Amino acid sequence: MNDDFLPIQGTDHIEFYVGNAKQSALYYQYAFGYELVAYAGPETGVKDKASYVLKQDKIRLVLTTALQEESPIAVHVSKHGDGVKVLALWVEDATKSYEETTKRGAKSIHEPFTIEDEHGKVTMASIQTYGETIHTFVERTNYHGPFLPGFIEKKGTGQITSTGLKYIDHCVGNVGWGEMNTWVDFYEKVMGFNLLVTFDDNDISTDYTALMSKVVSNGNGYIKFPINEPAEGKKKSQIEEYIDFYNGAGVQHIAIATDDIVHTVTELRKRGVEFLYVPENYYDDLLDRVGHIDEDLQPLKDLNILVDRDDEGYLLQIFTRPVQDRPTVFYEIIQRKGAKSFGKGNFKALFEAIEREQELRGNL
């Protein structure tokens, strides 16, 4: 069946609006092993903002900061803290992507426009998704510049080595009470995505907090967006804590794939990335639960890496602490060995770990 009205090749880039892009760019280089590849700002004729483009294998992050008080970027950072503004999707036809989605009800943020420089041309268009987050369709057929027209090549001056991060596996959104189905409908009807899985509060609840989640995916499966909403529990849901501090819906975590999680997490820890702590007794019955795995148990235990199995195989995963002071955006590092799921067997251990931190912040 070939009726995909919105074919997507993958994630083009993720753009964060941050308070200090120069310093964030160093954090992503030194802590996560990204390479600085491009820049736009006052030196390149952009007067109101500065953007740094970081790359590791197929992942491209853009860090943008405002240079003026009245900039919408400054307003965004004041309201949400550092956070994801753009989930950019790589498409073959940005104009058609925009037309197909807006005619199905997507709210337009930017009509299709083409920019060019000596490296070629790129066509882009943007639509609204949850909160103040947007999707930008990027059509970059035969563009050979470092990022987009207007950006110059820029290299970091320090010694940076990769940590083995490969590509974006999935991006999770947190939305408000009762809004999950609205956004699942949006992805199904407006973007042509399919509902992959549903988790209710029986799957995802601890003694204290609960949440519900549905995962939507595009036709070829390259794009997977789980959408969470808070559910009633004895205490405040971690999703509610996020919504309180982000002041609304937004991206909760970005999962990045590696093909050697032990190496990647060893490197990330050495460079100062902080991870959630899961108690040692998690490992007591791990092999009974997941069966044979290729990895030795001890390094997984030492690094606090979690394992889960589904019908198709298993996966290894770990979650960072939030990467800014507000308890909002964090990262997941994931290695899939056949499994296509999201680590349901780890939800309880994981949410208890988050609750311990919520309690330390006084928000449980």
Q: Can you name the residues that pair with 225 across neighbouring β-strands?
A: 216
Which of 38, 334 has the CB closer to Fe ion?
A: 334
Residue 179 in contact with Fe ion, rule: CB under 5 A: no
Binding region for Fe ion (CB under 5 A) out of 56-64, 66-74, 182-190, 249-257: 249-257
| Token duo for residue 39 | 């820049």
- What span, in angstroms and rounded, lies between the C-alpha atoms of 293 and 288? 11
Please list every residue from 272 through 311 that binds Fe ion, using CB under 5 A: none
DSSP alpha helices (H): ranges in the chain?
21-30, 72-80, 94-103, 180-185, 238-246, 261-270, 286-290, 297-303, 347-360
**Residue number with CB closer to Fe ion (123 or 133):** 133
Q: How far is the CB of 257 from Fe ion (least distance, A)?
A: 11
Q: Closest CB to Fe ion among 136 and 213?
A: 213
Residue 254 binds Fe ion (CB under 5 A)? no
Q: How many residues bind Fe ion (CB under 5 A)?
A: 2
Torsion angle defined by CA atoms of residues 268, 271, 272 and 274, in that order, rounded to the nearest 10 degrees: 0
The contact mask relative to Fe ion for 85-124 (x = CB under 5 A, - = no) is: ----------------------------------------
- Nearest Cα neighbor of 262 from 314, 335, 346, 320 is 335
Query: Six-digit token pair at 240?
Result: 């509610």
Closest to Fe ion by CB, 138 or 300: 300
- CB-nearer residue toward Fe ion: 137 or 282: 282
Q: Which two tokens stand for residue 188?
A: 């199904």
Smallest distance, Fe ion to C-beta of residue 226, A? 6
124 versus 255: smaller Cβ distance to Fe ion = 255
3-class SS of residue 160: coil
276: left (phi over 0), alpha (psi -120 to 50) or beta: beta
Residue (of 39, 52, 50) closest to 73 by Cα position: 50
Quote the least distance from Cβ 319 to Fe ion, whole Å: 8
Binding of residue 332 to Fe ion (CB under 5 A): yes
Among 255, 278, 307, 333, binds Fe ion (CB under 5 A): 255
What is the signed CA dihedral for 53, 56, 61, 65, rounded to 10 degrees? -40
Closest separation between CB of residue 118 and Fe ion, Å? Answer: 40
What is the CB-side half-sphere exposure of residue 254 using CA atoms within 13 A?
A: 22
- Site stretch for Fe ion (CB under 5 A), options 204-212, 229-237, 248-256, 259-267: 248-256
- C-beta of 309: minimal distance to Fe ion in Å? 16
d(CA 214, CA 281) in angstroms, rounded, equals 29
Please say which residue, 82 or 332, places its beta carbon nearer to Fe ion. 332
Judged by CB, which is closer to Fe ion: 192, or 343?
343
Task: Report the interface residues with Fe ion, using CB under 5 A.
Answer: 255, 332
